[in-house]
């Protein structure tokens, strides 16, 4: 039996309330019995949500790192303009305009 879109949204909202760490811990250690629900469909849906949240965290972390990269220079600290330019070009190619 497939989970409907409304059911999927309801599960995702409940996972949001529980938090990423609790849902992931439940899946890893109890196979989703405690919080997620033990059925294979619920487990797969929860793993999809975990992957989605982890990808969001990685994107947020990457954008924080891209703001400014400092490197040691002769007169103190400088900005690595070559790296900054390379990242800006790669972002424009992938469509990450912000």
Task: Copy the structure tokens of residue 38.
Answer: 């033990």
- Angle (CA) 14-19-20 rounded to 5° is 115
What pLDDT score was predicted for residue 2? Answer: 73
Torsion angle, CA of 82/83/86/91, rounded to 10 degrees? Answer: -140
Question: Tens of pLDDT along 62-88?
Answer: 765 555 666 666 776 666 677 777 777
- Angle (CA) 61-50-3 rounded to 5° is 145
What pLDDT score was predicted for residue 50? Answer: 92
Torsion angle, CA of 53/59/61/63, rounded to 10 degrees? Answer: -150
* Overall pTM > 0.75: no
Q: Is the pLDDT of residue 45 over 80?
A: yes
Q: Is the pLDDT of residue 18 over 80?
A: yes
Q: Do the beta carbons of residue 60 and residue 49 sit within 8 Å? A: no
């Amino acid at each position: 039996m497939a989970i409907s879109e409304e059911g999927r949204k309801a599960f995702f909202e409940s996972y949001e309330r529980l938090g990423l760490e609790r849902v992931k811990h439940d899946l890893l250690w109890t196979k989703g019995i405690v919080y997620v629900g033990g059925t294979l469909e619920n487990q797969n849906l929860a793993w999809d949500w975990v992957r989605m949240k982890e990808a969001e965290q990685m994107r947020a972390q990457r954008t924080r790192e891209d703001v400014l990269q400092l490197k040691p220079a002769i007169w103190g600290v400088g900005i690595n303009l070559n790296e900054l330019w390379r990242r800006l070009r790669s972002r424009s190619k992938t469509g990450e305009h912000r």
